[in-house]
Structure formats: C-alpha cells, structure tokens
Amino acid sequence: MLTDAFTRFTDTWSPKIAGDINDMQVKVAKFEGAFTWHHHDGEDELFLVVDGALRIELEDGVVDLVPGELVIIPRGVEHRPVAQPTANVVLFESAATVNTGNATDDARTTTDLDRLESL
C-alpha cells in the first residue's frame, strides 16, 4: 500500500517508481528542506502530499500543501519544492520527467530511478 511504500527507503530527493499508468508513472519521494528551482519544458507534474508539509514556491507566489492535498504544476512553470521540514510525496508525471527539469544539480538530478515492489 502507498503508506508502506515510504517505509522502504530513506534517501531524500530521489523518486522511486511505484507504478505505471499508461505512459505516466506514480513515483514516491521523501523531500527534506529546499530543492532546486527548475521547470519542465514539456511535461506537467502533479505533487500529492501524503505526510508532512510541502510548500511549492512559484515566481508569483506559493502553494502550501498538507496531507491529502495536491497541485499540478504546468509545463514551463518555474517552481521550487520546499518541505517544511520533511514531506512524503507522491508524484504523478511522465516516465521521462527528470526531477530537476532544466536545472543542473549534480547532487540531486536522478535519471535512473529505482522501482519499488508493486503497491
């Protein structure tokens, strides 16, 4: 189950594939503190908070998410996820979406995602 998925790993900012839907994927990730400002040129992205608190900073404001709430960040929109101080997050996005989008962040960019056992 989804809540169990977050017990299977401890690393932060490293999404794991938890399921496939058409050509998109459900990914799960632990966020801690502030991520890197970035955007995705061709892909929309959904963040759903399961535990903790997550602020999505945008160029013109913020979106604060509590558990059970979600937001869709459209393609091209610059954003920075900031966990306060930690959050367990479900991402619903293209299999091709890279976590840091257009940005270069060698410490955080993850392109070869681990796959969890089936939810």
Which residues are at the interface with a second copy (CB under 8 A)?
A: 1-3, 19-22, 24, 26, 43-46, 48, 50, 67-72, 90, 92-94, 119
Nearest distance from residue 97's CB to a second copy, in Å? 9
Nearest distance from residue 106's CB to a second copy, in Å? 27
Task: Report how far Cα 24 is from the mean position of its chain's Cα atoms.
Answer: 14
Q: Which C-beta is closer to a second copy: that of 57 or that of 105?
A: 57
Q: Which C-beta is closer to a second copy: that of 34 or that of 71?
A: 71
Name residues whose C-beta falls within 8 Å of residue 47's C-beta, 6 or more positions apart in sequence. Answer: 54, 56, 65, 70, 71, 73, 81, 89, 90, 91
Cα-Cα-Cα-Cα dihedral sign, residues 20, 82, 65, 104: negative
Nearest distance from residue 22's CB to a second copy, in Å? 5
For residue 112, the 8-state DSSP code is S
Nearest distance from residue 107's CB to a second copy, in Å? 27
